[in-house]
Amino acid sequence: MAFTYLTNVPLEQAKKDYLRVLAEQGFSARTERIRVQDAFGRITAKAVYAHINAPHYACSAMDGIALFAKDSFGATETTPVTLREGQFTVVDTGDPIPEGCDAVIMVEEIVRNEDGSVTIHAPAAPWQHIRQIGEDVCAGEMILPGLMEITPAAIGAMIAGGVLEVEVLAKPVVGIIPTGDEIVPPCSDPKPGDIMEFNSSIFSAMLSSWGAEARTYPIVPDRYDEIRGMLEKAVSECDLVILNAGSSAGRDDYSATAVREVGEVLYHGIAIKPGKPAILGYQGAVPILGVPGYPVSGIIVIDELLRPLVDLWYRREPDSGSRTRATLTRPVVSGLKYQEYVRVRMGYVGDRLMASPLPRGSGVVSSFMKADGMVEVPQGTEGYNAGEEIRVRLLTGKQRLKNTLVIIGSHDPLLDELADLIHREDRRYFLSSAHVGSMGGIMAVRRGEAHAAGIHLLDTETGEYNRAYIRKYFPHGGVYLIRCVGRQQGLMLQKGNPLGIRSFADIARDGVRYVNRQKGSGTRVLMDYLCKKHGVDPERIYGYEREELTHNSVAVQIAGDSADAGMGIYSTAKLYDLDFLPICVEEYDLLIPEKGWNSRMVRQLISTLKSEEFKTRIEAMGGYMLDRPGEIIDVF
C-alpha cells in the first residue's frame, strides 16, 4: 500500500489555473459544416451571409391581378375603370409580377365581367401588394453574426437566403473511460462485489445538457498498461477526456500515474468534499480530468471543473446558476479543510423557504435526484446551525418549490404513492417527503417546516396513538389530526423463519442479528415499549444499535441476509417476501397545521386521500386498514 500525497488546492484557484493553462495550450472549439435544417440550437462559427435574395424575384403578395398602375388611375366608385384582357394578368400569392406591371389589386376588389375584362373602383398605387426582391433577405447581407445561437426563424432566414449549409461550433466530444476491476455494465442481477457502471450515463446526460457529446469507452480493469493505453486512445479521439474512478491515492489507483505519463498533471487533489481526489491534467490542448468513482463526487467534480471547459469551448459566460436564501432545518457540520457541498431538499411552508440537508454519502446518487438545492460551505467554515438563513444554489425552479407539498415525519411507502397520485392529478404539484421519524415530524410541524407530518406514536400509558404527543408538543393547539391508515406492525423475519423466531423476546437469542430503526421513529418507540413489556434487555440484542431510517431499508437487510429480524409493517414484509410475526395494529395519521389547512396543496392532499384510487392502491399493498382516510380526527 503506497500512498501518493494529494494537494489541497482551493477550488477557485484550481479552476482559474486550469482554464488559463488550457487556453495557453490552445484548447478551443472545432467547427463543422452541417445542413441548416439540422442546425437548430447550434452556434454559428462565423457570420453567415445570404447567397440569394428572398424573394429572389418581385412577386405578388396577394391573390388578384397584376397591372400597370397608371392604367387604373382615375378609378372611383362612381367612375369605375375597366381593364380589358391583356391589360392585366391574374396572379396568385407568390407569382412573379409580369413584365410591364408595377402593382397588384386584390381579388376581393375587382369585378369580373363576362367578356373577360375586369372592373375596378379604386386606383392602384404603384408597387402596391408587390413583394420586392430581397424584401426578406438581400443577397450578401449578414443573416447572423458569428457565435450566435441558431433559432427556428434563423433557419428559415438562412434557407430563404440560399444558405443550405452552415459552419457551426462542433459539439465537444468528451471521452469517458470507466475503470475498475469491480465495475460491470448495467445489468438486472449484479453479483456481490459487482459495481454497476452508471456514472458514464449520468455524466453523458449532464454533458448533453451543456451541449457536449459523450463517447463512453469500454470498462478498463485496474491494470496500469490498459488504463494508459485507453487514455492515449481517448486523447487522440476526443476533445476532452474523463478518466473515471481510481483517482484517489489508494491501492490500484493508477490514474494519476497514467495521466502524468500520457500528459501533464496540473493538480491532483482539490479542497472540495466530496471530490477531493480529482486530477486536473491535460495532453496538449486536450483536458484530462480524473474523476472519483463515487457518483456524487463525480457529479460535483464534473460540474465544477468540466462544465467551465465546455463553456470555454463555446466562449460563453459560465452559468453560475440561480441562488436564493433559505432557512436550514437541521445543522450542517463541515470540516475546515474543504469547501463542502451539501445537497438539500427544499420547500416553501407559508412564505418561508426551508432547506433540509440530505444524506451526504458520496455513493448515494438518489440524494442528488431528490436535491432541490446545493449548499456550498466554504473552506474554513465549520458549518451552519439549524434555523440559520443560508445561501443555496437552486437545482429546482422556485415555482416548483412553491407547488411542492412537504411531508416530514414517519416513513411509510404510501407517501410515495401519494406523491405519484398528486402529481398525476395535476402536473404542477409535487410531494416531497423526508423520513425522520414521527417525533421528527412533530418537531418539523412545530417549527413550521412542513405542510404535514406522518405520525404513529403510541402512548404506552393509555394505548392511544398520537393525541398525547400532540397535546404535549402543541399545548396551544393550532393543528389538525387527520385520519390516514391503520397498519399492521410486527417483526419482519427471513423467509421461512430459519431461526424459528416465535415471539418478540426471541430477538435477544444468541445468533439472531437484529436491525433497528432510528431514535424518534414511531417504530422505535414501539420497539422500546415492547422490550420493557417483555423484559428484554436491549444490551442483549445484537444489532440494537444498528439503525435504519425506513421500513424498507430494515427489510432489505433481512432479505439480503445481513440481518435476521427487524420491526416493520406488513406491507413492507410482503414487498420483500419476508416472514412476518404480527404484533399490533397502529394508527398512522397525518398532522397538519391549521394555518396551511386551506392551502391549494393541502386541499389536493386531502382530496387524494379520499379518492378511490388511493384506496385501491394502498389496499393492494396489504396490511392496511382504510377507514375514511382524509377525515379530521380531532382539532387541537
Residues 118-137 that bind a copy of itself (CB under 8 A): 126-127, 131-137
Q: Euclidean distance between the first and final Cα of the chain, in Å?
A: 63
Q: What is the chain's Cα-based Rg?
A: 35
Closer of 461 and 577 to a copy of itself (Cβ): 577
CB 122: neighbour CB atoms within 10 A? 13
What are the percentages of helix, strand and coil residues in the chain, rounded to 5? Answer: 30, 30, 40
Q: Which stretch binds a copy of itself (CB under 8 A): 73-81, 309-317, 332-340, 622-630?
A: 309-317
**Site for a copy of itself contains 477 (CB under 8 A):** no
Closer of 30 and 534 to a copy of itself (Cβ): 30
**Site for a copy of itself contains 463 (CB under 8 A):** no
Query: Amino acid identity, residue 94?
Result: G
- Compute the Cα dihedral for 532, 533, 535, 536 and give only its sign: negative
**Site for a copy of itself contains 320 (CB under 8 A):** no
Residues 367-386 vs a copy of itself: string with x where CB under 8 A? xxx-x---------------
Q: Which of 550, 567, 589, 602 binds a copy of itself (CB under 8 A)?
A: 550
Geometric angle at alpha carbon 554, from 551 and 555, rounded to 5°:
85
- Give 529's contacts (C-beta < 8 A, 6+ positions apart): 458, 460
Minimal distance, residue 468 CB to a copy of itself, in Å:
32
Closer of 369 and 496 to a copy of itself (Cβ): 369
**Site for a copy of itself contains 560 (CB under 8 A):** yes
- Give, as ranges, the residues between 410 and 439 that touch a copy of itself (CB under 8 A): 413, 416-417, 419-420, 423-424, 427-428, 431
Minimal distance, residue 339 CB to a copy of itself, in Å:
21
- Give, as ranges, the residues between 191 and 230 that touch a copy of itself (CB under 8 A): 192-193, 195-196, 198-199, 201-206, 208-209
Cell of 487: 397498519
- CA torsion 327-12-371-309 (nearest 10°) is 150
Minimal distance, residue 228 CB to a copy of itself, in Å:
20
Minimal distance, residue 82 CB to a copy of itself, in Å:
18
What residues does 174 pair with on adjacent strands?
214, 240
Minimal distance, residue 594 CB to a copy of itself, in Å:
28
Minimal distance, residue 525 CB to a copy of itself, in Å:
22
**Site for a copy of itself contains 182 (CB under 8 A):** yes
Rounded to whole angstroms, how far apart are CA atoms 289 and 305?
8
Query: Amino acid identity, residue 317?
Result: E
Alpha carbons within 13 angstroms on the beta-carbon side of residue 579 total: 14
Q: Which of 51, 330, 393, 600 binds a copy of itself (CB under 8 A)?
A: 51
Closer of 24 and 99 to a copy of itself (Cβ): 99
Q: Which stretch binds a copy of itself (CB under 8 A): 225-233, 247-255, 260-268, 331-339?
A: 247-255
**Site for a copy of itself contains 100 (CB under 8 A):** no
Is 58 strand, coil or helix? coil
**Site for a copy of itself contains 499 (CB under 8 A):** no
Geometric angle at alpha carbon 449, from 443 and 454, rounded to 5°:
60
What residues does 283 pair with on adjacent strands?
286
Q: Which stretch binds a copy of itself (CB under 8 A): 77-85, 151-159, 374-382, 439-447?
A: 151-159
Rounded to whole angstroms, how far apart are CA atoms 576 and 554?
10
Beta strands at 142-144 and 165-169: parallel, antiparallel or unpaired: unpaired
**Contact by Cβ (8 Å): 551, 472:** no
**Site for a copy of itself contains 146 (CB under 8 A):** yes
**Contact by Cβ (8 Å): 330, 343:** no
**Contact by Cβ (8 Å): 179, 222:** yes
Minimal distance, residue 466 CB to a copy of itself, in Å:
25
Longest dimension (CA), the chain: 116
Q: Which of 4, 82, 236, 562 binds a copy of itself (CB under 8 A)?
A: 562
Closer of 76 and 366 to a copy of itself (Cβ): 366
Closer of 178 and 593 to a copy of itself (Cβ): 178
